[in-house]
Structure 1
């Protein structure tokens, strides 16, 4: 382990440039309400696809698609090189913690040294692909079809989503964008993941924990559902304590909470703490959230995070209830492949902790083009026009921050 001090934003850019050019899978992240920024690189250019077992895997970063029925399609980026930055110690300097691997990719180190004064990596200017985005007419038709299926009692809820493609600005740069998201969304999990073998980069600011377990064995998950603007009609911020929720959002949140409780019942875990529901702010939006906490040491269940990850994904907050008919409706009706949107991602066994989040408020970067994603929960009380408006608000979470 080596500790140094340097201009962290420049050095993170240098690390990113080198990893991209060598073709190494890479992740950067910052956990909610923290200041440390992490940079992780795997020297395996085609990362392992595996089921996430927190007790068996070493340190690394998990990245799973939405469709992952047996959990075996999760990409695992082994922590061959792991840096921790904290740029709050001085105006432009911070602390770097470098975890060195047993063997270092020589081409990466050679390029890293050569790039200390290199310019920023450019994605190029993309074409305007707005015409290939999900249209309002398409989305409204999908919502109407979902409501009919709910009325026919095929399922209680389904989460429908849409994609919106746009060209990247000519000056778009990953590390700068990452830092902007960290500043704009201090309570979110901010991340960027690059898998060069797939030709993709994903960036996001997720408000939703799927599973986490700390060094003391405390397990956490949450039910996050129900959405409204965090601002009133005049553009003034609404206090969380003054938020008013419609029956539709209350019932939507209750479905997600019941889903988590039912998962715990399936594995006979009854000793858990609940906090909420409460109104929380996530960028320009407010949500209802219920937090669940379990002491795995006290109940002698160290495998809880592994078991719950398999049971929970995809949660009713991104899929629906019951899970299988809702998932089938999504696959048959959405006009695009979600890929990693509404999958999960996060650090595994980093500093003896694992934190996995739902991949929400996210976008894919490919061939100079950004594809942004947003979804909403459809129940029998849904209004197609209002659901479209909800997705518009969610798309603004990244769009306004990154492209303004």
Structure 2
């Protein structure tokens, strides 16, 4: 990684062009500056004027926002996804010119993206624009951290590029991004819904309970799909705006690939890394919210003492502990969970913190944690084998790691749940539940209906 001193953008680009000529290959340069505060949603909406590869990420509880526009470079991998993505990322960092005077997570050179739930799982044309692993280095990046805003321009220069012309082009795009959009998107209405093979799904749940009773498998997580048709093409910015206002304590995200967009509001952090300090969270065990505070408190108390949900939660805590102890020191886990309230649902919640050892990266932790027992099952291998054989749903990026990482050893990944894939005026929503030996297919079906609600509510349902 090469840091350079402050200077005008032309001189910074000239430096990069000279390096590209010397090495006879394209050169990535990243330049970060602080700017006046601006609405991240406005930047995301303005970016549609020149890009079909936009990215949005926010943790509203932390006042943290990322908006990516365009694509300078895409890191993809189909096999050994975690190791190869990390290897390619480190190769890029080793050659990049990074001008970033700010010690702020998510500034400087950054990659945003995700992976499919299972590269060996059922496949369809639904997710054709989403690779098994795909991380984009955006051309333009807005970072909002503790109410301060930063703007990063990343460009891949070539030996024949002219710095002045390149700088003018970047300024023109920056002006578009940082100005208010011509209009703010309007909401649409749901015209029709289609449950994909609900009866067959219940039969698979029943088969899973029998499998668990007669084998060493403890739990199998099964997902299903609900398809919506809308009155017009879905406006992603409007969906994000609704999710931000209606789903506090969540990670609101959008990953756009050639116009198709995976969007949602997940409450489940997989892992957060700041320098060497690591935070993971166990969020397993689900119940609805009550109509009154008394009812809500009663449901929460029941959830805290429910044998099935506590067992499901303990599976995840145990797995996270094992993963952390393999790569970290100073692992700290509370003795019992607390309630994590969302608008439509409440969950059992346990935070896990640790110090990541120097020889490892965030991808080592993501690889170890995915899929968690809350999304795959226990044991992992046998539950995944059952899912591949019987689930018959192309999960794509649903339930998979999504997030970002920067050039200063910071990053954050969440689990892509409470989500949907938007394609024009059609949306595929996904929801799952953990099946154990005493699970009732009808009850599990009703649980998935509850989990569809956050996305349904922001799409006009």
Q: Which structure 2 residues correspond to residues 163-182 of structure 1 after superposition, within 5 A?
A: 163-170=225-232, 172-182=234-244
Structure 1 CA distance, aligned partners of 2:232 and 2:295? 33
In the other structure, the counterpart of 1:257 is: 317
In the TM superposition, residue 397 of structure 1 has moved relative to its aligned partner by 1.5
In the other structure, the counterpart of 1:53 is: 86
In the TM superposition, residue 302 of structure 1 has moved relative to its aligned partner by 5.0
Q: Which structure 2 residues correspond to residues 193-204 of structure 1 after superposition, within 5 A?
A: 193-196=255-258, 199-204=259-264
Structure 2 CA distance, aligned partners of 1:388 and 1:272? 37
Using a 3 Å threshold, how does the CA distance of structure 1 residues 373 and 241 change in structure 2: closer, same or farther? closer
In the TM superposition, residue 283 of structure 1 has moved relative to its aligned partner by 2.6
Question: Any gaps of 5 or more consecutive residues in structure 2?
Answer: 1-32, 94-108, 121-130, 157-165
Which structure is larger by alpha-carbon Rg, 1 or 2? 2
Contact 1:124–1:368 at 8 Å: present in 2 too? no
Matched, 1:353 2:410: yes
Deviations 1:309-360 (A, max 9, x none): 1111111110011111111111111132111101111121277520101111
Higher helix share: 2
The number of residue pairs the alignment matches comes to 383
In the other structure, the counterpart of 2:143 is: 84
In the TM superposition, residue 124 of structure 1 has moved relative to its aligned partner by 9.4
Structure 1 CA distance, aligned partners of 2:54 and 2:172? 17
Q: Which moved more, 1:155-164 or 1:102-111?
A: 102-111
Matched, 1:31 2:64: no
In the other structure, the counterpart of 1:18 is: 50
Matched, 1:140 2:202: yes
* CA-atom RMSD in angstroms: 3.3
In the other structure, the counterpart of 2:340 is: 280
SS in 1 for 2:457: helix
TM-score, normalization by structure 1: 0.83
Contact 2:191–2:231 at 8 Å: present in 1 too? no
Using a 3 Å threshold, how does the CA distance of structure 1 residues 6 and 39 change in structure 2: closer, same or farther? closer
Please point out which of 104, 117, 120 is paired with 1:66: 117
Matched, 1:192 2:245: no
Deviations 1:108-145 (A, max 9, x none): 876776796645679999984x34x3243122111100
Q: Which moved more, 1:346-355 or 1:368-377?
A: 346-355
Please point out which of 385, 392, 395 is paired with 2:452: 395
SS in 1 for 2:36: strand
In the TM superposition, residue 391 of structure 1 has moved relative to its aligned partner by 0.5
Matched, 1:363 2:420: yes
Structure 2 CA distance, aligned partners of 1:239 and 1:79? 46
TM-score, normalization by structure 2: 0.74
Structure 2 CA distance, aligned partners of 1:253 and 1:144? 22
In the other structure, the counterpart of 2:397 is: 340
Contact 1:41–1:77 at 8 Å: present in 2 too? no
Matched, 1:224 2:291: no
In the other structure, the counterpart of 1:158 is: 220
Question: Any gaps of 5 or more consecutive residues in structure 1?
Answer: 90-94
Contact 1:124–1:170 at 8 Å: present in 2 too? yes
